[in-house]
């Protein structure tokens, strides 16, 4: 049952596609970026892109993983205040602030990501992880029957399209958005 090692060119191309795709997303925004244009920008055939990532959603997932892995890792096994072991009253606001911050720094990328899972952010795998983590902490503070919904509601307040609306349409500085969020989380916590 050996893992069949990938060929060198496959690995190289995979990386090139990810780099090109990320650059395109940041520069042009989700809607403008077709699979064709990604392939062209990476200097690679279309078939190669699909071979490596299965479909558009797969490419976005991969892009997501790469970009969000550090944050998720910090939350899963890092030091306080993000990591486990931190008291819930401190960890929950820290987690939400970290998520908001990451999204505010990469608006278009995260908007694209949340539209991946058959156009429902709730089907993106990482959502389940964040929700589970948050619910776990909330269960220490309140009736476990309420923790699930509460976790959903708090995560809804940091959705990428809301962050985009606040930052772009309403023109609120990122700093201020995070402050408002923090105040909100504080008041919503049981």
Partner DNA sequence: TAGAATGCGGACCGTCGGTCCGTTACGACT
Partner DNA sequence: AGTCGTAACGGACCGACGGTCCGCATTCTA
Question: Which parts of this chain interact with a second copy (CB under 8 A)?
Answer: 30-31, 111, 115, 118-122, 146, 148-150, 152-153, 156-157, 159, 161-162, 164-166, 169-170, 177, 180-181, 183-184, 187-188, 190
Stretch binding DNA (CB under 7 A), from 36-44, 67-75, 99-107, 146-154: 36-44
Nearer to a second copy, 23 or 30 (CB): 30
Please state the closest distance from residue 122 (CB atom) to DNA, in A: 19
- Among 7, 118, 170, 190, the residue binding DNA under the rule CB under 7 A is 7
Nearer to DNA, 7 or 145 (CB): 7
Q: Pick from 26, 165, 136, 155: which is nearest to 97 by CA? A: 155
| Residue 104 binding: pick among a second copy, DNA, none (C-beta 5-8 Å cut-off by kind) | none
Q: Nearest 5°: CA angle at 147, between 121 and 123?
A: 15
The CB-side HSE value for 117 (13 A sphere, CA atoms) comes to: 12
Class of residue 88 by CB neighbours under 10 A (exposed 0-12, middle 13-18, buried 19+): middle
Nearer to DNA, 30 or 174 (CB): 30
| Residue 6 binding: pick among a second copy, DNA, none (C-beta 5-8 Å cut-off by kind) | DNA
Nearer to DNA, 1 or 8 (CB): 8
Please report whether residue 9 would count as binding DNA according to CB under 7 A: yes
Contacts 24+ apart (CB under 8 A), 187-190: 188/150, 188/153, 188/154, 189/89, 189/92, 189/93, 189/141, 190/138, 190/141, 190/142, 190/146, 190/150
CA-to-CA distance for 21 and 91, rounded, in angstroms? 33
| Residue 146 binding: pick among a second copy, DNA, none (C-beta 5-8 Å cut-off by kind) | a second copy
DSSP per residue, 144-188: HHHHHHHHHHHHHTT-HHHHHIIIIIS---HHHHHHHHHHHHHHH
Please state the closest distance from residue 72 (CB atom) to DNA, in A: 25
Residues that bind DNA (CB under 7 A): 4-10, 13, 33-37, 44-48, 50-52, 54-57
């Amino acid at each position: 049952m050996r893992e069949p090692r990938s060929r060198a060119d496959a690995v190289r191309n995979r990386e090139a596609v990810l780099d090109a795709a990320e650059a395109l997303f940041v520069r042009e925004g989700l809607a403008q970026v077709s699979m064709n244009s990604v392939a062209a920008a990476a200097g690679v055939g279309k078939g190669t892109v699909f071979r490596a990532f299965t479909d558009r959603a797969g490419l976005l997932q991969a892009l997501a993983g790469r970009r969000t892995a550090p944050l998720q890792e910090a939350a899963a096994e890092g030091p306080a205040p993000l990591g486990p072991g931190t008291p819930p009253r401190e960890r929950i606001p820290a987690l939400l602030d970290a998520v908001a911050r990451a999204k505010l720094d990469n608006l278009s990328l995260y908007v694209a990501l949340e539209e991946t899972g058959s156009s429902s952010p709730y089907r993106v795998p990482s959502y389940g992880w964040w929700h589970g983590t948050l619910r776990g902490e909330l269960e220490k503070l309140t009736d476990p029957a309420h923790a699930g919904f509460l976790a959903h509601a708090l995560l809804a307040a940091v959705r990428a399209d809301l962050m985009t609306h606040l930052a772009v349409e309403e023109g609120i500085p990122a700093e201020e958005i995070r402050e408002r969020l923090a105040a909100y989380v504080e008041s919503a916590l049981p």
